[in-house]
Chain A
Amino acid sequence: MSIQITNLTKTFGSFTALKNISLTVGTGELLALLGPSGCGKTTLLRIIAGLETPDPGSGAVIFHEEDVTNSGVRQRQVGFVFQHYSLFRHMNIFDNIAFGLNVRPRKSRPSKEEISQRVHALLKLVQLERHAALYPRQLSGGQRQRVALARSLAVEPRILLLDEPFGALDAKVRKDLRRWLRRLHEEISITSVFVTHDQDEAMEVADRIVVMNHGEIEQIGTPQEVYDHPANEFVYHFIGDVNLFHGRLEEGKVRIESSEAGKEKPEVVAYVRPHEIELSRTAHPEAIAARVQHLSIAGPVARIQLVRLDTNQSVEAEITRQLYDELQLRTGETVYVNLRNLRVFRPEERTRP
């Protein structure tokens, strides 16, 4: 089941939540809507579900050639997983998962045995077989979110929508659960869209990422495309850590200079990821001298906080543990910074205000 969204706009009073959004989600794809809070990603998800309506006459939501723009939530047959689980607190886990089947009109309702079978199959899928009789309050956050997922899958939805599914969980559970979601998706391969503000989560789980900001789509691409070829400054910033360097454009090359020389040349801002910075002890003409301010070594990478000697700007570098051990860096000493992969954005790619 594919999803096609065309020219969709949504305003709340004078606030524009979504501006002319067009997007296609392929059958069986797992798509992430990524962006800062207030960028419109949740609104878009809720419009796909039918929980919100787009501005009248502003566009369409199409599920595999069927225009559902004006269909109610129930007709759309989607699964929706809420950030705070929204389990029915007075029902046990079994009844929570069976709810969607139990509320069907008698004609299309499966028999009691069928419902029980399906619920137990789902409990097995989410690895909570022994929790059927417990109540939501007796489960941990991660378990509850798995119940919420099982509950939404029980009605065999045409598409699955997840609103910040791991947002309320702590870091460790979050990581486990997103890997588990990825595996689950490979198993049942239902067209899925999930909303997140966590770029790591989007990178790890999604087939494709839609980066959103201020109600507009900034870029759509695979995690690698978005990371390696960010469409603009905003995407570059949002997808990972960044260092900023002011320089001037000289004959198609960027010169990072703090000197007054070449004042007539156009000014540019260049970006470098921390892991694209090289450190060495020996000075050379291209390199920038900097003082080591802080070292933090955790796991396989060493993060080094530096301060440029010429401008006092801080620079963050990430080097391998091995290199770090070879360099034997000390706080306070001077090293030379070499920028391996400078990224400069044309004015039209600059961040919108």
Chain B
Amino acid sequence: MKTMTTASNEQGWTARLLIAAAVLFLLVFLLLPLTAVFVEAFRKGVGAYFKSFTDPYARSAIKLTLIVTATVIPLNLLFGITASWAITKFEFRGKGLLLTLIDLPFAVSPIVAGLIFVLLFGSRGWFGPWLKAHDVQIIFALPGIILATLFVTFPFVARELIPLMQSQGTEEEQAALVLGAGGWQIFRKVTLPNIKWGLLYGLILCNARAIGEFGAVSVVSGHIRGQTNTIPLHIEILYNEYNFAAAFAMASLLTLLAVATLAIRSFIEWKTRREQAAALGEI
């Protein structure tokens, strides 16, 4: 940007034009809708806004979303670290395939992700009869929602950690090993402190997606009010019932979450940049 501001007049005009276009775009497509969410949410007054959250169905949706997120995040933490550790610290056959598989959920449409689980565990699915015989309900119940959310969120942590751990190499771990540290000690005292910011970043993205996921969850949930509706599904139902104020009140929750995610994300990026600058300063 510095070169832009000190550049010639002509370039100055180009810069101004581009900046204006970008700002206009942001206003129309991001800031305006964001404001609309809150304006609509408060249209019937603050009282009505807060009343929307006391509705039992709304409470149930919030609760379900929290349960799903609280289950998915630790599992993704475990999976993300395991996969990144395996990929970056060891050499083995099929490493490339594993890397591709981790990216698969990003490439597959969420609807397809949902359908996969219906196909597997639905009443007419592969394991459907067996599950029915053992009285286990996966589709149109909590386990299905968790599985679908897990599927769409699992690349986040691993995708953050793999490049980071690749750039750090394995020499510090080897040094710790020679000094007599055991596997768990090496992880806790050497690897984890080096990857903590990347890990947190991955978890925050994973959290945002887990709370906001609509497509995959919509397929497996069955939309049973008070039972299998997550926040995004509940919003859709409210909206279809022309209950706009309540729909936007719930939407404002998700929006606030997004803003918070962005804030934490910027903080982490700022923090990692500082640490990277410090690391570069050492060479």
Residues in A lying within 8 Å of B, measured CB to CB? 49, 51, 73-74, 77-80, 82, 84, 86-90, 99-100, 103-104, 136-139, 148, 151-152, 154-155
Q: Interface with A: B108-116, B145-153, B179-187, which one?
A: B179-187
Option from B181, B190, B281 in Cβ contact (under 8 Å) with A137: B281
Q: Interface with A: B17-25, B131-139, B169-177, B208-216, which one?
A: B169-177
Please tell me if B52 contacts chain A, counting CB pairs below 8 Å.
no
Give chain B residues whose Cβ lies under 8 Å from the Cβ of A138: 282
Give chain A residues whose Cβ lies under 8 Å from the Cβ of B174: 51, 80, 82, 86
Q: How many A-B residue pairs have CB under 8 A?
A: 66
Expressed in whole angstroms, the Cα–Cα distance for A139 and B283 within the complex equals: 10
Give chain B residues whose Cβ lies under 8 Å from the Cβ of A78: 178
Residue of B with least CB distance to A76 = B178
Whether B279 lies near A73 (C-beta < 8 A) is no
Option from B177, B180, B190, B278 in Cβ contact (under 8 Å) with A88: B190
5 A-B Cβ contacts within 8 A? Answer: A79-B178, A103-B181, A137-B278, A137-B282, A148-B175
Give chain B residues whose Cβ lies under 8 Å from the Cβ of A90: 193-194
A100-B179 contact given A82-B171, A82-B174, CB 8 Å threshold: yes
Residue of B with least CB distance to A103 = B181
Whether B172 lies near A86 (C-beta < 8 A) is yes
Whether A136 lies near B175 (C-beta < 8 A) is no
Please tell me if B189 contacts chain A, counting CB pairs below 8 Å.
yes
Q: Which among B179, B193, B278 has the greatest number of chain A C-beta atoms within 10 A?
A: B179
| Chain A nearest Cβ from B189, distance in angstroms | 7
Expressed in whole angstroms, the Cα–Cα distance for A264 and B222 within the complex equals: 99
Whether B177 lies near A74 (C-beta < 8 A) is yes
Interchain residue pairs A-B with the least CB separation, the first 9: A137-B282, A100-B179, A86-B171, A103-B181, A86-B175, A80-B178, A90-B193, A103-B185, A74-B180
Whether B279 lies near A89 (C-beta < 8 A) is yes
A49-B178 contact given A84-B171, A89-B172, A137-B279, CB 8 Å threshold: yes
Give chain B residues whose Cβ lies under 8 Å from the Cβ of A148: 175
Looking at chain B's contact residues, the main secondary structure is: helix
Whether A99 lies near B179 (C-beta < 8 A) is yes
Expressed in whole angstroms, the Cα–Cα distance for A80 and B176 within the complex equals: 10
Whether B282 lies near A103 (C-beta < 8 A) is no
| Chain A nearest Cβ from B41, distance in angstroms | 44
Residue of A with least CB distance to B170 = A86
Whether A152 lies near B189 (C-beta < 8 A) is no
Give chain B residues whose Cβ lies under 8 Å from the Cβ of A77: 180
Give chain A residues whose Cβ lies under 8 Å from the Cβ of B177: 51, 73-74
| Chain B nearest Cβ from A285, distance in angstroms | 59
Option from B180, B194, B279, B282 in Cβ contact (under 8 Å) with A155: B180
A152-B179 contact given A82-B174, A86-B171, A86-B174, CB 8 Å threshold: yes
Whether A136 lies near B171 (C-beta < 8 A) is no
Whether A89 lies near B194 (C-beta < 8 A) is yes
Identify 7 new A-B residue pairs, CB closer than 8 A, beyond the known A74-B181, A88-B176.
Answer: A51-B178, A77-B180, A89-B279, A100-B180, A103-B182, A104-B180, A155-B180
Give chain A residues whose Cβ lies under 8 Å from the Cβ of B181: 74, 99-100, 103
Give chain B residues whose Cβ lies under 8 Å from the Cβ of A136: 282
| Chain B nearest Cβ from A149, distance in angstroms | 12
Expressed in whole angstroms, the Cα–Cα distance for A88 and B282 within the complex equals: 13
Expressed in whole angstroms, the Cα–Cα distance for A254 and B176 within the complex equals: 57
Expressed in whole angstroms, the Cα–Cα distance for A99 and B178 within the complex equals: 11
Give chain A residues whose Cβ lies under 8 Å from the Cβ of B182: 74, 103
Residue of A with least CB distance to B185 = A103
Expressed in whole angstroms, the Cα–Cα distance for A116 and B275 within the complex equals: 28
Give chain B residues whose Cβ lies under 8 Å from the Cβ of A139: 282
Expressed in whole angstroms, the Cα–Cα distance for A24 and B237 within the complex equals: 80
Residue of A with least CB distance to B174 = A51
